[in-house]
Structure 1
C-alpha cells in the first residue's frame, strides 16, 4: 500500500512538469507583472480538492480534525518560506519537479531544504520549533469559529472561483504562433502541447483528492505533503530507521520520477549548472524554505493547497503570508536593483 505514494507522486510530478505549475512564479508574477492566472489556477485546485475531500469525509471514508492553530509559527514561518522560494527559484514541490528536469540549482536548494526541515523535526532546532508552536489559538477550523457548516464555506469558495474563471476565460487571448508540432495525437497533447494552467489545476485538484484515501490506507491521515517527507528522507539516511520511510517519502520520490519521465519524453531534460551567485541563492533559499515550512507546519502544497482546502485558518493565513514574503523578496531581488540601474543610467546621461 505504501507504494501508492510513488504512483500519486509520479502523477503529480508529471502534471506539474508538463503544466509548468510553479507557485513561486505565480506569486511573483502577481506582484511584478500583475498576472494572476497561476494564483487563479491554485484556487481552482483548492476548490476541487475541497469538494472531493469533504465528500469522502461525509461518506465516512476517514475523519479529519483541524486541531488548534499555532498562529505565530504559521505567520513567521510562512513569511520566511515565501522569501526562501524566491531565492531558491521554486517552492518545495517546484524544486522537486525541477530537480527531475536536471536543474542542479534545484538539487542544491533541496539539500538546504531537507537539512533544515530535518533539524526542525528532530534536530537542534526542535526546541525552538516546539516553543513557538506553543502559542496557539484553540480552534483552527474556520467553520467552527464562524459557527457554520463546512459545506457553506465550500459553496462560497466554489462560487467565487467559478466567477473568477468565467471572467478570465471571457477575456480575449493573444495567440502566439509556435513551432510546427513534431508529434501527433496523444503524444502531442502529453509531451508537446502547452497546457492551460486551469487544466493543470483541475488535474492537480483531482490528484490531491486521490492522495487522501491512498495515504489514509497506510495510517497516515493526511493528503499531499512535502516538508515532513523531505525531512524523513534525510532522517532515514542518517539514522537508518525504517520508521522514517512512509507514504509521504514515496510521494516526493514519485514527484521527482514523474517529472523526470515528463522532461525526458518532452525533450526538456538537460543538466544545467548554476553560476556561483545562483548556487549561493539556491542553497540559502533552500535553508529558508526548510526553516519556514517546518515552523509553519507546511509549504505551498501542505498549507497553500491542502490546508486551505480543508477550510482551516492555518491554510489561508499561511497562503497570505507566503505571498507577502514572496512579494517582499521580489522587491529586493528584482524591483530595487532595476530602480538603482535606472537611476544610475539617468545620472550618467544628465
Structure 2
C-alpha cells in the first residue's frame, strides 16, 4: 500500500508539473488544428506517443511489462470519443488539462472536474452503467493492429518512428517565428523550471518518458496499465462514497498527484490565482464535464488513456478514438468559436 501511494503520487506530481509548465492541453492543440491551422501540438502528441511506444515495447520484450490488446467496440469508441471531443471544448480542457488547470485555481475547471468525476462514476458502476455495458457490447472486434494486419508490432513502431521523424524534420525547416521573451527574473535551474517558456516538443519527450515509466511502476502494484485519468478520477468519488478498498489503486493516487504537481508548478511560477468565471461559463464547463464523463466511459479512455497510451500500444481503439476525438473538437469549435465570430462579423 505504501509503495502504491508514494509512487502514484510521485509519478502523478511529476506529470502534473510537466503538463502545467509545458501548457500541455490537447484541447487547445486539436482546436488550433482547425481554427488556426497550427498542427504543432498534434505533432508534439505524436512525438510523445512514439517515445512511449518504443520504451514500453522494449520493456515488454525484456519481460518487465505485460500487455494484451484484447477487443474493443467500434460503436462505443466512435460515439464515446466524439462526445468526449465535444465535451473538452465546452469544459475548456481535456482530462489532464482540467486537472492541472484546477491546480492553477480555475474554478470553472473545478466545476468541469466535479461533473466529469460524477458522470464517469455513474457510467462505470452507477445508474448509467447499463448504458456503458449495452453500447460496449456492440460491434466488438480485435483490438491489436499487429494481429489484424499480420505483422510484428515493431514494424508498426518503425513506421510510426519514420513518419513522426519526417513530420518533425519538415516542421523544423519552417521559418521560425520569434516570440518576445521577458527579461528573466530568475537564473539557472529556477529560470528553466519556473520561468522559461517550455517547447511543446521538449514537453512531449518528458510526457512520453513519464508515460513509459508509469507502466512498470503501476504493474508492480497489480494495476496492469499505464497512465489513465477517467477511471481513476471516478474511483476517487466511488471510494469516498462507498469506502470500498477495491477502488483504491495506483491510478487514483496518480490523478491526485497530478493535481498536487500542477499546483506546485503554478505557485512556483507565479501562475496560480483563484479565477471565478461568470455564470454562463460555469454552466458550460459543467456541461462539458458531463460529456467528458459520458464520452470517456464509452470510449474506454480519454485524451490520455486513448490518445496517448492506447495509440502507443498500437491498438485500433487508440487511433480510432484519437481521430473521432479530434472530429468532436472540430465540430464543437465551429459552433463555439467559428460560427459566433462569423455572426458578429455579419
TM-score, length-normalised on structure 1?
Answer: 0.97
**d(CA) in 2 for partners of 1:235, 1:69:** 25
Confirm or deny that 1:6 pairs with 2:13.
Answer: no
* Contact 2:74–2:141 under 8 Å retained in 1: no
Deviations 1:235-275 (A, max 9, x none): 01111112211100100001000000000000000000010
Alignment partner, residue 281 of structure 2: 278
* Contact 2:105–2:273 under 8 Å retained in 1: yes
The Cα of 1:69 is off from its aligned counterpart by 1.5
**d(CA) in 1 for partners of 2:202, 2:90:** 28
The Cα of 1:136 is off from its aligned counterpart by 3.5
**d(CA) in 1 for partners of 2:78, 2:168:** 29
Give the counterpart of 1:33 among 23, 31, 36: 36
Alignment partner, residue 129 of structure 2: 126
The Cα of 1:138 is off from its aligned counterpart by 3.1
Alignment partner, residue 339 of structure 2: 336
The Cα of 1:171 is off from its aligned counterpart by 1.4
**d(CA) in 1 for partners of 2:65, 2:31:** 36
SS in structure 2 opposite 1:138?
Answer: strand
* Contact 1:70–1:133 under 8 Å retained in 2: yes
* Contact 2:56–2:65 under 8 Å retained in 1: no
Alignment partner, residue 169 of structure 2: 166
Alignment partner, residue 116 of structure 1: 119
The Cα of 1:170 is off from its aligned counterpart by 1.6
Alignment partner, residue 77 of structure 2: 74
SS in structure 2 opposite 1:111?
Answer: helix
Alignment partner, residue 311 of structure 1: 314
**d(CA) in 1 for partners of 2:28, 2:198:** 16
Structure 2 residue runs without a partner (length 5+): none
**d(CA) in 2 for partners of 1:163, 1:122:** 44
Alignment partner, residue 245 of structure 2: 242
Alignment partner, residue 109 of structure 2: 106
Alignment partner, residue 327 of structure 1: 330
Alignment partner, residue 208 of structure 1: 211
Structure 1 residue runs without a partner (length 5+): 344-350
Alignment partner, residue 258 of structure 1: 261
**d(CA) in 1 for partners of 2:195, 2:254:** 25
* Contact 2:119–2:290 under 8 Å retained in 1: yes
Alignment partner, residue 303 of structure 2: 300
The Cα of 1:311 is off from its aligned counterpart by 0.2
Which stretches of structure 1, 4 residues or more, deviate above 3 A after TM superposition? none
Alignment partner, residue 347 of structure 1: none
> How many corresponding residue pairs?
343
**d(CA) in 2 for partners of 1:7, 1:176:** 33
Confirm or deny that 1:135 pairs with 2:138.
Answer: yes
SS in structure 2 opposite 1:256?
Answer: helix
**d(CA) in 1 for partners of 2:261, 2:318:** 26
Deviations 1:12-56 (A, max 9, x none): 000000000110000000000000000000000000000000000
* Contact 1:225–1:301 under 8 Å retained in 2: yes
**d(CA) in 2 for partners of 1:48, 1:62:** 16
**d(CA) in 1 for partners of 2:330, 2:149:** 30
SS in structure 2 opposite 1:148?
Answer: coil
SS in structure 2 opposite 1:55?
Answer: helix
Alignment partner, residue 90 of structure 1: 93
SS in structure 1 opposite 2:112?
Answer: helix
**What do you get for the CA RMSD once the two structures are aligned?**
0.7
